[in-house]
Structure 1
Amino acid sequence: MIGVIVPVHNEEGCLAACLQAVSRAAVCPGLRGEAVLAIVVLDTCYDRSADIAAEHGVLTLCIAARNVGMARAAGAAHALALGMRWLAFTDADTIVSPDWLSTQVQLGADAVCGCVHVEDWQDNLELVRQRYQERYCAQDGHQHIHGANLGVAADAYVRCGGFPALPSSEDVALVRALQACGASIAWSAAPRVVTSARRHARVRDGFAGYLRALADAPEPGTACAPAIGAGLASRP
């Protein structure tokens, strides 16, 4: 079986679309009938997120940590307890492609780091879109790490110690731990997801933080220009 873990903190505006996309990916012919279980980890939610998850018939866990690392870890632990052989992670503001899961498992690696794509830039200046597209490498061999597009074999996840209890960059920490224990990682552009370019996200220093940094960055060649992505450890 394959487990799909979605951490959620007050995501009533986008969760339904996310879960619909996961449902489509779960019946992809490329999976050859392998069962898929979606696990929504409701972390300190006080909106309609729990109701939306219930309407879609997914398994839910409730925690009160306000910590995305702990939320992903809780979902992964539950999936492992149920005997999942592959753990796939995405975010509530993300739409996965119909072949997202099948592409991950068919790559034959211990872990898969995928890219993210943005289609709606309405919350950002045109300058941000331009700078993002100039800097982002959406092709095989990239070095981006996104919790919105990540897959890990169960045995490799256990071997590296799993997600740490970090409020951000938990995905980067997991991949670094996988590398340290010798896991094979596919840096692939094939598993496709579309994510939100919202400026005010649920996680500090995440993708939204990177977009804000792009807006504030000096033009190339300006004195004392900061390194874009510094501190994000291969987040785009």
Structure 2
Amino acid sequence: MSRGARWLANTDADSHVFPDWLAVQLALGADAVCGVVEVDDWSPHAPRVRHRYEAAYVDADGHAHIHGANLGVSARAYMRAGGFPPLPAHEDVALVRALEGTGADIAWSARSRVRTSSRRDPRARGGFGDYLRGLAADP
């Protein structure tokens, strides 16, 4: 039996994973799993932010969302893809694109779920919090 990590499950410090989160990722049998996120609390935002978010978000299998807060990848696929690139933002997207480039089997699953923060003062510039802030801007 080999030593070392076999599966890398990624989330964010301000997110909550469900008790079966890791089991769901592993049960999908893919090289990588891109899961969905649920926003924990919409109250810091104007109602239009939630409306715009829900109008654009696909909470179903086959979605095309990439969230660093809900991403799992086999160690082998991660190494083949070159790992997370050293980017200030969207390193999760870059990794998934690299995985696609290697022919990795990616499960785009709504079964893998994470509840994430809707904070108005995000710590990571260019990430999910800034996306929500952008939805608040007038068109």
Which of the five TM-score ranges fits, normalised by the shorter chain?
over 0.9
Per the normalisation by structure 1, the TM-score is 0.57
Corresponding residue number in structure 2 for 1:165: 86
Query: Relative contact order (C-alpha < 8 Å, sep 6+): which is higher?
Result: 2
CA distance in 2, matches of 1:192, 1:99: 9
Is it true that 1:178 corresponds to 2:99 in the alignment? yes
CA distance in 2, matches of 1:198, 1:117: 13
Is it true that 1:115 corresponds to 2:36 in the alignment? yes
CA displacement at 1:111 relative to structure 2: 0.2
Q: 1:217 to 1:114 in 2, by over 3 A?
A: farther
Q: How many residues align?
A: 137
Deviation track 1:196-223 (CA, whole Å, cap 9, x = no partner) reads 01121111110011111111142xxxxx
Structure 2 residue runs of 5 or longer lacking an equivalent are none
Structure 1 runs of 4+ aligned residues shifted over 6 Å read none
Match for 2:94: what amino acid? A
CA distance in 1, matches of 2:126, 2:59: 21
CA distance in 1, matches of 2:78, 2:11: 16
Corresponding residue number in structure 1 for 2:17: 96
Corresponding residue number in structure 1 for 2:48: 127
Quote the RMSD (CA, aligned, Å): 0.9
CA distance in 1, matches of 2:78, 2:40: 31
Structure 1 residue runs of 5 or longer lacking an equivalent are 1-81, 219-236
Match for 1:123: what amino acid? P
CA displacement at 1:126 relative to structure 2: 1.0
CA distance in 2, matches of 1:140, 1:217: 31
> For 2:99, what is the secondary structure of its paired residue?
helix
Q: 1:217 to 1:188 in 2, by over 3 A?
A: farther
CA displacement at 1:119 relative to structure 2: 2.9
CA distance in 1, matches of 2:77, 2:40: 33
Per the normalisation by structure 2, the TM-score is 0.96
> For 1:124, what is the secondary structure of its paired residue?
coil
Deviation track 1:79-136 (CA, whole Å, cap 9, x = no partner) reads xxx6010000000000000000000001000000000001311211111011111111
> For 2:30, what is the secondary structure of its paired residue?
coil
> For 1:105, what is the secondary structure of its paired residue?
helix
Is it true that 1:196 corresponds to 2:110 in the alignment? no
Q: Percent identity?
A: 63
